[in-house]
Amino acid sequence: MVRIVRADDGVHVDPTGKLAGRGAYLHDKRECWARGLRGALAHALKAELTAEDRVRLEDFMNTLSTETNG
């Protein structure tokens, strides 16, 4: 699971799991991130994702595996 945190300066991936702010978790699979970016993540973080937030999160998403466990 990967933690995403809403902080004063935007939404960020939190690899340490220790950053201050409202957090949410997504599996480390690209399909989960794609689903989250369609709205569930913004809802969980109680914030609208800015264009900058989306770019940051999509860049991280593109480093993730596309494999699924069948």
The answer to whether residue 27 is domain-embedded is yes
- Find the DSSP H helices in the chain: 30-35, 41-45, 51-61
pLDDT in tens, 4-27: 999 999 999 999 999 999 999 999
Q: Please count the structural domains in the chain.
A: 1
Separation CA 57–CA 61 (nearest Å):
6
In this predicted structure, what is the pLDDT of residue 68? Answer: 60
In this predicted structure, what is the pLDDT of residue 18? Answer: 93
The answer to whether residue 68 is domain-embedded is no
Positive or negative: CA dihedral 5, 65, 63, 49: negative
**Residue 31: DSSP 8-state:** H
Question: How much of the chain, in percent, has pLDDT values that exceed 70?
Answer: 94
Q: Mean per-residue pLDDT for 22-35? A: 94
The answer to whether residue 20 is domain-embedded is yes
Q: Which residue segment(s) compose the domain that 48 sits in?
A: 2-61
